[in-house]
């Protein structure tokens, strides 16, 4: 497909109503612009048995359809390895031996946010790298040559955020999320990415990586999250929030989601008649689970 949107859940558990709201929005953005729509299972990490199948069932129950069979990242390791190997060959990477705790506890430079990679292993000598390999397997990090990057977002306008030496392959050999998602979007022809606005500041670093890999930057639309009544990001621990739980309590999940977006219709196709990205709510949606 030459123009495609997507929804890419991680099968770490059942989707809650906030996830389903984002999925519906991704579908509406894609279909209203004449794009195809794909579902991709991001199962490189945090997999709960049976979760992917339940997620797909819930998307179908919501009335969503997609093109082709859902791709699984675990079937696409060769693509990620080829992309990483290419960057290694170009001299755009370095080995990093830092643990997450060491990074969090390292002094932060004035222009970097707390927890950002401090560059500890950026300039290790060959002898230092050889010595540290005895202690632990290294991660592969991108050797970034920019500090910030700018993307265009349909809802937020121009967004500029920091770009650090992000991980491409973890120490356990698993490709990192930021690398996999960029490679997947490029290989699958995804030119529109609709997702929660908690990932807004990740878009510039992913777009920069796409530039290095020769992948066209997608058009972004980061939509507001669903929050609980305490103003925190909605999660399964908040109670009855999944499709099955809400349906069992007599809640019409589709009507609840479409109403929160100011849209009318009883199917996703009917929502297309009144769907206007410019009219979408810009504030987070607060959802109160039934007792």
Chain segment 97-109, per-residue pLDDT in tens: 998 888 888 776 5
pTM, two decimals, is 0.93
Whether 19 has a pLDDT exceeding 90, the answer reads yes
Q: Find the range with the poorest average confidence among 51-60, 113-122, 185-194.
A: 113-122
CATH number at residue 14: 3.40.50.620
Q: What are phi and psi of 39, to 5 degrees?
A: -115, 130
Check whether 250 has a pLDDT greater than 60.
yes
Provide CB contacts within 8 A for 256, sequence distance 6+. Answer: 17, 246, 287
236 an active-site residue? yes
Say if 141 falls within a structural domain.
Answer: yes
Give the closest residue to 33 by CA, choosing from 191, 184, 157, 176: 191
Q: Do 17 and 41 fall into the same domain?
A: yes
Q: Report pLDDT for 290.
A: 86
pLDDT digit string, tens, across residues 153-190:
999 999 999 998 999 999 999 999 999 999 999 999 99
Alpha carbon distance 4, 36 (integer Å) = 4
pLDDT of residue 1: 47
Q: Residue 280 above 50 pLDDT?
A: yes
Whether residue 150 is contained in a domain is answered as yes
Buried-exposed string 78-114: b where 16+ CB fall within 10 A, e elsewhere: ebbeebbeebeeeebbbbbbbeeeeeeebeeeeeeee
Does 236 count as an annotated binding residue? yes
Return the sign of the alpha-carbon dihedral for residues 95, 198, 37, 51: positive
Q: pLDDT value at position 100?
A: 86
Please check if 208 is assigned to a binding site. Answer: no
CB 93, CB 143: distance < 8 Å: yes
- DSSP string across 108-140: PPTTS-TTS---TTTT--HHHHHHHHTTSPPEE
Confidence at residue 37, expressed as pLDDT on a 0 to 100 scale: 98
Average pLDDT of span 237-265: 94
Residue 111 pLDDT class (50, 70, 90 cuts): low
Dihedral angle, C-alpha 14, 18, 23, 29, nearest 10 °: 180
Q: Which of 216, 240, 238, 257 is nearest to 18 (CA)?
A: 257
Q: Quick check: 242 pLDDT over 50?
A: yes
Q: How many domains does the chain have?
A: 2
Q: Is residue 278 a known part of a binding site? A: no
The C-alpha angle with vertex 218 and arms to 213 and 220, in degrees rounded to 5, equals: 135
Q: Are residues 71 and 84 in the same domain?
A: no
User: What is the span of the domain harbouring residue 273?
Assistant: 4-75+224-286
Q: Which residues have CB under 8 Å from 50's CB, separation 6+? A: none
- Average pLDDT over the chain, rounded to an integer: 94
Of the residues 54, 132, 236, 244, which is catalytic?
A: 236
- Decide if 272 is inside a domain: yes
Q: What is the pLDDT of residue 46?
A: 82
Residues 165/119, Cβ–Cβ less than 8 Å = yes
52 is in an annotated binding site: no
Token pair for residue 225?
Answer: 């999250």
The reported pLDDT for the residue numbered 102 is 86
7 is in an annotated binding site: yes
Average pLDDT over residues 56-80: 97
Domain match, 111 and 161 both = yes
Q: Are residues 88 and 149 in the same domain?
A: yes
pLDDT at position 214 over 80: yes
Q: What is the CATH classification number for the domain harbouring 121? A: 3.90.800.10
């Amino acid at each position: 497909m030459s123009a495609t949107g997507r929804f890419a859940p991680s099968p770490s558990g059942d989707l809650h109503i906030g996830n389903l709201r984002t999925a519906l929005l991704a579908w509406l953005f894609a279909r209203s612009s004449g794009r195809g729509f794909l579902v991709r299972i991001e199962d490189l990490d945090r997999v709960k048995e049976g979760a992917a199948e339940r997620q797909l069932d819930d998307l179908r129950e919501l009335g969503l359809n997609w093109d082709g069979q859902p791709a699984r990242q675990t079937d696409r390791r060769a693509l990620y390895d080829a992309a990483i190997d290419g960057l290694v060959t170009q001299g755009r990477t370095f080995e990093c031996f830092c643990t997450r705790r060491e990074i969090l506890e390292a002094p932060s430079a004035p222009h970097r946010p707390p927890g950002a990679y401090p560059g500890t292993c950026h300039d290790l000598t060959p002898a230092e790298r050889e010595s540290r390999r005895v202690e632990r397997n290294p991660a592969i990090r991108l050797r970034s040559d920019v500090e910030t990057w700018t993307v265009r977002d349909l809802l937020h306008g121009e967004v500029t955020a920091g770009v650090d030496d992000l991980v491409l392959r973890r120490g356990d050999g698993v490709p990192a999320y930021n690398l996999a998602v960029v490679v997947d979007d490029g290989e699958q022809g995804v030119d529109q990415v609709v997702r929660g606005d908690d990932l807004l500041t990740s878009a510039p670093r992913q777009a920069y990586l796409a530039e290095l890999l020769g992948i066209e930057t997608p058009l972004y639309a980061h939509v507001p999250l669903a929050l609980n009544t305490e103003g925190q990001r909605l999660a399964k621990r908040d109670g009855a929030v999944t499709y099955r739980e809400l349906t069992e309590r007599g809640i019409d999940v589709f009507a609840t989601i479409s109403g929160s977006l100011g849209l009318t219709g009883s199917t996703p196709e009917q929502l297309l008649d009144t769907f206007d990205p410019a009219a979408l709510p810009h504030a987070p949606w607060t959802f109160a689970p039934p007792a």
